[in-house]
Structure 1
Amino acid sequence: METRVLNYFLKIAQLNNMSKAAEQLHITQPTLSRQIKTLEDSLGTKLFNRDNKKMTLTNSGIIFQKRAQQIVQLIAKAEQDVSDQQGLSGVVSIGCVESTVTNFLGTMIASFHSKYPHVRFSMYDADGDDIREKLDRGTVDLGFLLTPVELAKYNSVDLPVEDRWCLLVPKDDPIAKQTKISLEALRKLPLIIPSRNIIQSEILAWAKTPDSELHIVSSQNLLSNSLFLVKAGIGYAICASGAFSNRPDDDIVSIPIDTTTVIKHAMAWRKNYTLSQSTQTFIEFIKDEINNPDSLWQLYIKEKREKEN
């Protein structure tokens, strides 16, 4: 099965139209139709329902679409990695959570890019579980994760990045006037919490309460949609302070939660897996920057602490 045919199939699935797909692929419609028919014959199943000019995926087609996308992504990644061996270029693929670690990563990429301008970066925003799944599949090279996280099967480096737990509140809510939210007050509020089980367990641990005693109205993997729920008065969102500071909203206030628990971060990549030269170099670059007292990030942390004091 050729990658070219997989791309043909994916284009039709995207456009739901054979003629439009043929036009964008720069081939004739009869040629494209024959290629799809041959693909269906080789698989022994129909991939499309044909209704006049519209083509929709069958159940088998939906399953095949997911696998085809993964195959095409992996092949593209392999081609990037092979070309990367010819010199320090190519693409470093990164999955990153929403937190203060985004600022750290941006600083690292900026410094690295000034030294290696031909290396490009592909960024993917998600929660820790999604990022680890993509690490396992090989569709991202590096994961920047907040802890706690299961790292036993990965190589990892602890990062000099910390975050705090906070509560997001509508600006006109009476709670918005408070400078800190106590754990006792938190237990009485309708809450929107992160969806990852390991993070939920962490929250329950520092909140010192079972989930049956919390009023949980919703969960989230990323913060975006929760902001609308907060503004609508559905609940108050618990999140890492850096996740909100990266996308501030004038209608919402972030209030620190009265807990000593600090959110830490780690960089992870697959064990027993050959990384591209550019990815390996980027990992070593970050390790060096972490230990360099004069690095841009260390200077940033120093200035931040001086402002806070």
Structure 2
Amino acid sequence: MELRVLRYFLMIVQEKTISKASARLHVSQPTVSRQLKELEEELGTTLFTRGNRTIQLTPDGEYFANQARQILSLTDKTLTNIHQETDISGAIYVGSAEARSVLTVAQAIGHLNQQHPHVQIHLVSTDASDIHSQLTSGVFDFGVVMDPTDKSDYDFLRLPGESRWGLLVQNSSPLAQQATVSLDDVAQTRLILPQQGGSARIHAVFGLTQEDLNVAATYNLLYNASLLVSAGVGNALGLDGIVNTNQSDLTFVPLAPRTSSGSSLVWLKGQRLSAAAQALLAQVRAELTPTEN
């Protein structure tokens, strides 16, 4: 299986027709069709269902497309990091939860960029489960995860600062008039919950079980959850400082008693980091080291 064929396949996935994919690839349509047929024969499965105008992925095709993206992402990253100049260069992939403490990593990236402008950072907002998967597969170099998270597979640095939990509500909600919300308020409202860690995480942080809650929806990015709140789906349980509620129809009401979560920068134990990734890790450590006056 050649990487070139994987790129052909993903272009077909993107364009949904072989003719458009061929034009984008600057390759003849018969060549692309033949390569797709040979790929399906090699895999022993059908990747597409052919319609009158477009083609759709089969379940096997959906799975293979996801794997192909990871393979090509890892390949491109590896080639970039191998073909380095005298100055440190290369690509670094960081999967990150949404949290104020990401600012420390952002500051490290800014200082690294000043020293090594040929290093390129790819920051992907996602959850702990995907971070673990992408670190294990070698796509991500680092992750930023919220506590509590099982870090037995990781080396890690705790990041400074904590984010406070609360409810994101509509301004018209009676809860928006309160200075804080209680766990009883949380239990009595229709909730939009973070996907990260699921019910086990909610129980670990708040002591609430699935049976205690009225769950309307879940999310992995709080900005998207804020749109659900605006649409009246429910109130989003999340961390402060992520969604800017100024001049919006939303209010963040903190939980009382105060409940906060910290975060950590993680990477796989035993993972051999590229020169660029080592440089970023050193810069994060420098950000965490107090300067002497």
| Same fold (TM > 0.5) | yes
Secondary structure of the residue aligned to 1:218 is: strand
Q: Aligned ranges for residues 239-254 of structure 1 at < 5 Å? A: 239-245=238-244, 250-254=248-252
**Distance of 2:267 and 2:85 partners within structure 1:** 19
Identity %: 33
- Which residue in 2 is equivalent to 1:141? 141
Give deviations 1:108-155, integer Å, cap 9, x for gaps: 211221122111111111112222211111111110111111110111
Query: Does the residue aligned with 2:162 lie in a helix, a strand or coil?
Result: strand
Unpaired segments of 5 or more residues in structure 1?
A: 296-309
Distance 1:249 1:90, change over 3 A: farther
What does residue range 1-309 of structure 1 map to in structure 2 within 5 Å? 1-51=1-51, 54-84=54-84, 87-197=87-197, 200-205=199-204, 207-245=206-244, 250-293=248-291
Q: CA deviation at 1:86?
A: 5.4
Contact in 2 for aligned 1:171/1:251 (Cα 8 Å):
yes
- How many Å separate the matches in 2 of 1:64 and 1:184? 45
Inter-CA distance 60–188: structure 2 relative to 1 (3 Å threshold): closer
Q: CA RMSD in A?
A: 2.4
Distance 2:138 2:102 in 1: 21
Moved more, 44-53 or 211-220: 44-53
TM-score normalised by L of structure 1:
0.85
| TM-score, reference length from structure 2 | 0.90
**Greater helix share, 1 or 2?**
1
Deviation at 1:208, TM superposition (A): 4.3
| CA 203–52 in structure 1, closer or farther in 2 if over 3 Å, else same | closer
Match of 1:263, SS state, is strand
* Letter of the structure 2 residue corresponding to residue 83 of structure 1: H
Change in 2 beyond 3 A, CA 1:163/1:140: same
- Cα 1:208/1:7, change in 2 over 3 Å: closer
Aligned residues: 293
Larger deviation, residues 9-18 vs 273-282: 9-18
Does the Cα contact within 8 Å between 2:99 and 2:163 map onto a contact in 1? yes
Alignment CA distance shift 1:102-1:46 (3 Å): same
1:274 alignment partner AA: R
Asked if the contact 1:95/1:124 (under 8 Å) is kept, the reply is yes
Once the 2 structures are TM-superposed, how far is the Cα of residue 211 of structure 1 from its aligned partner?
A: 3.4
Partners of 2:148 and 2:85 lie apart in 1 by: 35
Farther off after superposition, 205-214 or 262-271: 205-214
The secondary structure found in structure 2 opposite 1:185 is helix
- What does residue 299 of structure 1 align with? none
Q: Residue 180 of structure 2 aligns to which amino acid in structure 1?
A: K
Other-structure match for 1:298: none
